[in-house]
Amino acid sequence: MRNPDYHDQVQELLVRAHGRWTSILRSLDVDATILSQRNQPCPMCGGTDRFQYTDKFGEGNYHCRNCGPGGGFKLLQAVKGVDFKSAVRQVQEVIGAAIVPPARAPAEPSALRMKKLAKRLWDEAHPVAQGDDVDRYLRGRQLGMDRYPKVLRCHPRLGYYDKDDKGRSRLVAHHPAMLACIQGADGHAISLHRTYLQDGRKLQRPDAKKVLSGGIQGAAVRLFEPGGVLALAEGLETAIAVHLSTGKPVWAGISAGNLERLWLPEQLQEVHIYADNDADGDFDGQAAAFALARRLRKEHRREGGPRRVKVFVPVHDGADWADVWGAQIRRTSPA
């Protein structure tokens, strides 16, 4: 039976470790190569280049194309060969002091905090309207629409956080942002995707696009309701471009790793997957698209009927379908 006090203590430890996992893991003698953020063999399941440590959400995040994503505790357990409680003790020793100071109330569980934060940000934003920052950004990408999907909103002034030299998050500035609602298998919102904007363009920062929290496995931004066919793409802009060029309803998987895990309605009989052409990199876009296609075909065959699945890949290396759509618009526009 779960000890509620211990659970609350672990949640508090997670809060205090947020943004510090790389230094914590280094202090616990996790090999620097594992933390290098390069593709490499997975410490858990091997392979050659299926694993990458990213710390994308400040939780010691990593992703393996075979055994899936995880965080600092799971990685520490695998590398050091210890159980969860031992990993907790080791992290506590690095951070120092008691897990929960006696005079401080237990932290609210992180999932609940994130849910409340997502709702607050969503409520602060407004539906995308002609002339607002999101509309200007999308029209600048040749992706303007008369009516935008309800799962997109414009936040007029969203806090942008960066990490200082100690790995702690700090507020740097406020920028307008495009919010996209990420929905799980049951249709409920589980997180938000944020695209920070400036002067009608994407903010010139390496992480101008962020998911509010991890744990979105199989969730998607459901831009349009499925019809007889559902199109799938990786990024939001790519998905909108697919819709504009084909008229198909489309969902965005946000990342290549999540695209291959998407949950789809069982009644769908035809799925069109629009992959990014990552031939000038590590072929992540193509690999994710074909992994999803393979999974969908096998799942539906086991359930008693064929599901039509097609994969489309841009011709040019490094291109996605937003690039293809933009090139088409430029070709057909008057000089």
Clarify whether residues 73 and 184 are in a common domain: no
CA 307 to chain centre: 27
Please write the tens of the pLDDT for every residue from 27-42: 888 988 899 988 898 8
Nearest to 134 by CA among 157, 152, 160, 158: 152
Please write the tens of the pLDDT for every residue from 90-113: 888 888 744 443 334 444 446 677
Clarify whether residues 241 and 320 are in a common domain: yes
Q: How is residue 67 written in tokens? A: 């055994």
- Domain interval for residue 201: 109-213
Clarify whether residues 40 and 126 are in a common domain: no
Residue 315 falls inside a structural domain: yes
DSSP per-residue letters across 134-145: HHHHHHHTT---
Clarify whether residues 207 and 230 are in a common domain: no
Distances (CA, A) of 20 to 136, 207, 301: 37, 18, 45
Q: What CA–CA distance (Å, rounded) separates 14 from 107? A: 10
Stretch (H or E) spanning 238: helix 236-246
Nearest to 194 by CA among 281, 294, 124: 124
Residue 101 falls inside a structural domain: no
Please write the tens of the pLDDT for every residue from 47-95: 888 889 988 878 888 888 888 888 899 999 888 888 888 888 888 888 8
Task: Categorize the per-residue pLDDT at 245 as very low, low, confident or very high, splitting at 50, 70 and 90.
Answer: very high
Q: Which residues pair with 173 in a beta bridge?
A: 160
Query: What CATH number is associated with residue 245?
Result: 3.40.1360.10
Q: What CA–CA distance (Å, rounded) separates 138 from 140? A: 5
- Name the domain boundary from 189, 213, 237: 213
Clarify whether residues 128 and 227 are in a common domain: no
The tally of domains found in the chain comes to 3
- Name the domain boundary from 31, 63, 95: 95
